[in-house]
Amino acid sequence: MSDLVQLSKFLSTLLRHRADQFGLVLDEHGFADTDQVWAQVQRRYGSRYQLADLLKVVAGDVTGKKRFEIQGRRIRALYGHSAVRDITYEPVIPSTLLYHGTTSAAIESIRRDGLKHQRRQYVHLAIHRDRAAQVAARHAGTPILLTVRAAEAHRAGIRFYQPETEHFLADDIPVEFIDFPPEGG
- Greater confidence (35 vs 64) lies with 35
Q: Which residues belong to CATH 3.20.170.30 in the chain?
A: 98-179
- pLDDT over 80 at 179, yes or no: yes
Q: Which residues belong to CATH 1.10.10.970 in the chain?
A: 3-77
Thinking of the domain 3-77, which architecture would CATH place it in?
Orthogonal Bundle (1.10)
3-state secondary structure of 69: strand
Q: In what order do the strands lie in the sheet with 68-71?
A: 32-33, 74-77, 68-71
Query: What number is the average pLDDT over the span 151-155?
Result: 97
Neighbours of 37 (CB within 10 A): 24
Structural fold of domain 98-179: ADP-ribosylation fold (3.20.170)
| Contact indicator for 10, 4 with CB cutoff of 8 Å | no
Query: pLDDT by residue (tens digit) across 70-98?
Result: 889 988 888 765 555 567 778 999 999 99
pTM, two decimals, is: 0.64
